[in-house]
Every structure is written in C-alpha cells, then in structure tokens.
Amino acid sequence: MSDKAQRKREGRIRRHRRVRKQVRGTASRPRLAVYRSNRHISAQVIDDMTGRTLAAASTVETGVADSGTGNIAAASEVGKLVAERARAAGVEKVVFDRGGFLYHGRVAAVADAARNAGLEF
C-alpha cells in the first residue's frame, strides 16, 4: 500500500472512531453501519449490546446489483434490501453509522433508499 493510501485509510479510521463515540446501537434502536470500497458497498444492522448482526446486504451477493457494483444504483439497491431484511427482523428505527465516509454519493444513496423502504433514522 502506498504512503498516500495508508494516510487516507488511517484518516477514515480516525473519523470512524470519532463517529462511534456518539453512535451506539441498542436492541430498540440498532446501528446501520455502511462500508464502502472501490468496487462494493455493504450495510449491516447491528445490535452493539449483544454484538449481533440483525440484517445485512452487500453488492457481493449474487443478483443484488446487476448493473455494476460500484455505483449509486447498486448502493440504492443495497439500502432497500437491508431495510427490508431489518423490517423482517422486527427493526423499525436505527441510528446511521457512516463509517468515517462522507455522507455523499453511495453512502447517502444507501441511507435514502433505507429511509424510503421504511427504516426510521
């Protein structure tokens, strides 16, 4: 990994730690965590009290994103899918954890799609 890439990664981790000081997932209001890589995006609904993942969706799954995996359309599909799975698990309200990423582009698309599919945050 190049020096610039290493600095960017460490900066994101630092921002994520800052966000996680405030954002905690409970049984009544779990955390919707988003991770974005260059090729894929994934989202999980996590109860931090028990350390369990209640619902998850990713572009790595087959059939989730047919039109490419690293674009806003795929991110919207992941957001919709994770919201449907969370509602099936009995989750209505979540707190959003952007994972140190800017709330823009694919990260915002996941959040908007999850809101439109019925999750409250």
pLDDT digits (tens, 9 = 90+) for 8-49: 999 999 999 998 888 888 888 999 999 999 999 999 999 999
CB neighbour list of residue 45: distance below 8 Å, 6 or more residues apart: 25, 30, 31, 32, 33, 53, 54, 55, 56, 82, 85, 86, 89, 91, 94
Q: What is the pLDDT of residues 63-93, one digit of tens each?
A: 887 778 989 999 999 999 999 999 999 999 9
| pTM attached to this predicted model | 0.90
What pLDDT was estimated at residue 16?
A: 92
